[in-house]
Chain A
Amino acid sequence: MPPATNVDWYKDAVFYQLHVKSFADSNGDGIGDFPGLTSRLEHLEQLGVDCIWLQPMYPSPGRDDGYDIADYCNVHPGYGTLDDFRHFLDEAHRRGLRVIIELVLNHTSDQHPWFQEARSSTSNPKRDWYVWSDTDDRYRGVRIIFLDTEMSNWAWDPVSRAYYWHRFFSHQPDLNYDNPEVREEMWRVMRFWADLGVDGFRVDAVPYLIEREGTSCENLPETHEVIRTLRARLDAHAPGRVLLAEANMWPEQVRPYFGDADEFHMAFHFPLMPRMFMAVRLEDRRPLIDIVERTPAIPESCQWGIFLRNHDELTLEMVTDLERDYMYDEYATDPKARINLGIRRRLAPLLEGDRRRIELMNSMLMSLPGSPFVYYGDEIGMGDNVFLRDRNGVRTPMQWSGGWNAGFSAADPERLWLPIISNPVFGYQAVNVEAQRRNGSSLLYWMQRLVRVRKSSRVFGRGSIEFLHPANHRVLAYTRSLGEETVLVVHNLASTAQAVELDLSSMAGAIPIEMFGGSIFPRIRAHPYAMTLGPYGFFWFRLRWL
């Protein structure tokens, strides 16, 4: 079991996001499961990550990748049993890995028994667990999130002959958090998993819990009150568990969800991600610095979650129209790669398989403020399949080997829940864990090393950041400082070699030690510090006053 006393462990942690059904199949039915995942924990232990974020593993009709939950206190039968989950959790803890799970507070599946009861009769005790209306004109003006598929936030229920409220798909009715019974029931769900030993919850679709006439029905004060209550109860019942918010908004809009350190411990920083891609493509540090400097301070115990890619599209909601057009032109020339307001590609294909750029992006991910999240498969440079529906193209089975079904499953290939990536560039025979484990210069080994170097200093998880502003705009340089420790990070965002002079006079007297190889660089003086970097090259220096 990871140490329980370290209550803010998430500030130093490297997270690894995975979906059970895509990771490893132990029983040959073509769907990943908990015994399969348990058998592959050694991979994560070797990679050096600290915490697994499990995407939804609950019973679900699976119409929204599991985010349509039909039973909150069980696991999907296709993924195994609750005992299989317990065994997985115990084994992960034994290896020093923490586990956080998904918690969808806002809505259930329309197949959930609660909704089935609620729709059965207007007098049913569960009726008020959801938001009903005789007309579809309440909460007018509230935006529709899934514009591609939904015409309204109201859906007609022919059974009970009334409309029900849904912010996402129409098969996902919103729970009514004005009903104390709903709040109590969701706390019971959290307590159930906390008692099993999970280390926290990634809370989906946070801003939409409460509806009020005349508002956007987003980020309402009453929603914060719901979160504060759940946090207080979780802290009291199971200290050291983390609450992570998914709120795809600007950082200043997300900031209230940290409250006074009494709401979420963590929240994703969505706008940072597209700007990292933009900065590399533009060969200009400005987009990245702008968004970091725009990021408000958060309470000491709180942390941002940052990422390069995840199970969704590379979202371009938090960019301007001009920036979005640029990103589409540069990263999604194939229209099939575009979905909603984003790009459904994995990291390696987005960067054209360029190892140097993949390393550069990961270097930024691991050195900027926040706790990094690595999406499964990105540690080996897995590809995607834009021909699959929705965002399934980035959710294909993990590529473990060059053998049958990439080592993912013993099933016939036709039974796999999604086809394996098989193209000559990113296919499983070229890109897989086994091959990269046998090659000391593989991306996997490099990622392993990157994680280890990041974890060698708490400055990355907890330190302040100060950008340097050299004349060469292609160079992104910053210092991270915590107490007496300072790390200098320098990135060349360009595809060509760059020379730069850094004003490090405030650090005069320090000796830079390159953190990956341990090489010593000349002592810093009051005059500009000259440096050259290869294409997409970067340095992390630990500064020592010796």
Chain B
Amino acid sequence: MPPAASPRRASLLSDDLVQHLIPVGQVDVLVGLPTLDNVSTVEPVVLAVHQAIARAFPRTRIALLNSDGGSQDGTQDVVRRASSGSADLLLASHTLRTMHRVVAPFHGLPGRRAALRTIFAAADLLQARAVVIVDPSAVDPSEEVLAALMREVLTGGLDFVGQAPGRHPREVPLVTQLVRPLLEATLGASFDDPLDQQFALSGAFVARALAASIWDDEPMRAGIDLALHADAIAGGFATAQLATRARTRVSHAARPGVRESIQQLVRALWSLLGRHESLWLDGHPAATPRAMALESAEAASPTWDTAAFERTFREGVHQLHGIWQDVLSPATVAALDAATLRQPAGLGLDDWTEIVIDFCVAWRTGRFTPDQLAGAFVPVYFGRLAEFVRDTATLDAGAARERLNRVAHAFAAARPALVTRWMAARASGEHR
């Protein structure tokens, strides 16, 4: 009989971390805390995790793994200190089992994706049935939310439970104007907030995700949360989202600017459409995540500086006119020019939808680098942002929400054109 193959791969877990995981052994739940310079918020987050476990799962085998992406602000020390147990916490409640707390030393490329990969690999090694990824930057973390996330995967038979923060419809416009409607139009469904950083996963989902290409795909480096949410939908996993209160987040990590963030996100979004094209081109819509109520709160409407949005839009159109003529149809370029000349400037829904599709198709042809396209997309987005913010400025939340429905409908109506043009781009374009 032939000798066994000896697969050699780079280690995802450092030897030091493996040594720490050996005494942990098999667990039911792994709570993953991916940190990166979260010193100001992480302590209450860790305490909330402890409270959630002590009150809701005192008999369950649980470990807490802090996977740090390279903090320089002492985050790991705070986690160690918080994990050692405060007197108040011990008096209030305790678990029956030893809860292992592991602080993983920095290993590999810095960033949230590397931290999540470490957590996923550790969960796989520990054969965790459920993994809860905790947001370390929430100002007012909720033990109820953490317990509910844990419960729905551990005992509810779900594979991916996200959050649907109760935001005002004018908030997170990048999600409401682009990410969510585009995912719904292609995959057939989306989480309310597919960029959210707190969610719970089944062991089966973690094993699948660990084997996926998202860890080596450069555009996914900054879009890992989006990739995981989308993979759960596209992969046919049992999904749900908990309605929660929107929480303030604070991060001291060196964050990219707004422009760069938008560019990173659209690159990730296009890459996602490419990864899942066999699914959405076939026209088999994925199931919508089951809605589950937990908290309710009506957030206040945010205020925006529309003048700045308009300025960015006009300047960008002027500077990037050359690229747009290659990417967009002549009619769309004309509409774009007209939109910059209007007072006030901004992009209506029809033009916006058309332009988003043009950019997706241009990405699929492979004739432009993703960086080129993403850079050219930024001012367009600001044009749409200016229009949306102005259009909804005087509306109440209900009416503003209705505007979001129109966006979803416009993208859904554009789906046949997107499919046709995407397939044509795939057939004629370069290999991507």
Where the two chains meet, the residues of A that have a C-beta atom closer than 8 Å to any C-beta of B are 292-293, 295, 297, 369, 463-466, 479-481, 484, 486, 506-509, 511, 513, 517-523, 544-546
Q: Which residues of A contact B127 (CB under 8 A)?
A: 513, 518
Which one of A297, A508, A522, A546 lies within 8 Å of B124 (CB-CB)? A546
Cα A521 to Cα B125 with chains together (Å): 10
Q: Which residues of B contact A481 (CB under 8 A)?
A: 4-5
Q: Is the Cβ of A523 less than 8 Å from the Cβ of B26?
A: no
Known contacts A369-B1, A464-B2, A486-B4; A520/B125 CB under 8 A:
yes
Cα A509 to Cα B2 with chains together (Å): 22
B204-227: which have CB < 8 Å to A?
none
Q: Which of B2, B4, B121 has the most CB of A within 10 A?
A: B4
Q: Which of B7, B26, B124, B126 has the most CB of A within 10 A?
A: B7
Q: Which residues of A contact B18 (CB under 8 A)?
A: 511, 520, 522-523, 546
B42-79: which have CB < 8 Å to A?
none
Cα A250 to Cα B9 with chains together (Å): 40
The range of chain B's interface size is 20 to 34
Q: Which residues of B contact A465 (CB under 8 A)?
A: 1, 4
Chain B's interface: helix, strand, loop or mixed, by majority? loop
Q: Is the Cβ of B13 less than 8 Å from the Cβ of A546?
A: yes
Q: Which residues of B contact A521 (CB under 8 A)?
A: 22
Q: Which residues of A contact B174 (CB under 8 A)?
A: none
Any A CB within 8 A of the CB of B15: yes
How many A-B residue contacts, CB cutoff 8 Å?
Answer: 74
Where the two chains meet, the residues of B that have a C-beta atom closer than 8 Å to any C-beta of A are 1-9, 11-13, 15, 18-19, 21-22, 24-26, 121-122, 124-127
Shortest CB–CB separation between residue A92 and chain B, in angstroms? 28
Q: Which residues of A contact B26 (CB under 8 A)?
A: 517-519
Cα A481 to Cα B126 with chains together (Å): 22
Shortest CB–CB separation between residue A476 and chain B, in angstroms? 15
Shortest CB–CB separation between residue A27 and chain B, in angstroms? 42
Shortest CB–CB separation between residue B8 and chain A, in angstroms? 6
Q: Is the Cβ of B6 less than 8 Å from the Cβ of A507?
A: yes
Which one of A466, A480, A545 lies within 8 Å of B8 (CB-CB)? A545
A508's closest neighbor in chain B, by CB? B8
Cα A369 to Cα B24 with chains together (Å): 33
Q: Is the Cβ of A520 less than 8 Å from the Cβ of B124?
A: no
Q: Is the Cβ of B121 less than 8 Å from the Cβ of A297?
A: no
Cα A523 to Cα B125 with chains together (Å): 12
Known contacts A369-B1, A511-B125, A520-B22; A545/B6 CB under 8 A:
no
B22's closest neighbor in chain A, by CB? A520
Q: Which residues of B contact A523 (CB under 8 A)?
A: 11, 15, 18
Q: Is the Cβ of B125 less than 8 Å from the Cβ of A464?
A: no
B9's closest neighbor in chain A, by CB? A545
Q: Is the Cβ of B7 less than 8 Å from the Cβ of A484?
A: yes
B7's closest neighbor in chain A, by CB? A484
Q: Which residues of B contact A466 (CB under 8 A)?
A: 1-4
Not counting A517-B26, A520-B22, a sample of 4 additional A-B residue pairs whose C-beta atoms are within 8 angstroms of each other reads: A479-B4, A509-B8, A521-B22, A546-B125
Q: What are some 10 contacts across the A-B interface (CB < 8 A)?
A: A463-B4, A465-B1, A479-B4, A507-B6, A511-B18, A513-B127, A520-B21, A520-B24, A523-B15, A546-B122
Q: Is the Cβ of A518 less than 8 Å from the Cβ of B25?
A: yes
Cα A295 to Cα B1 with chains together (Å): 8
Shortest CB–CB separation between residue A138 and chain B, in angstroms? 42
Known contacts A511-B125, A520-B22, A544-B124; A464/B13 CB under 8 A:
no
Q: Which residues of B contact A518 (CB under 8 A)?
A: 25-26, 126-127
A297's closest neighbor in chain B, by CB? B1
Cα A513 to Cα B121 with chains together (Å): 13
Q: Which residues of A contact B121 (CB under 8 A)?
A: 546
Cα A465 to Cα B3 with chains together (Å): 7
Cα A463 to Cα B2 with chains together (Å): 10
Q: Which residues of A contact B13 (CB under 8 A)?
A: 511, 546
Shortest CB–CB separation between residue A406 and chain B, in angstroms? 38
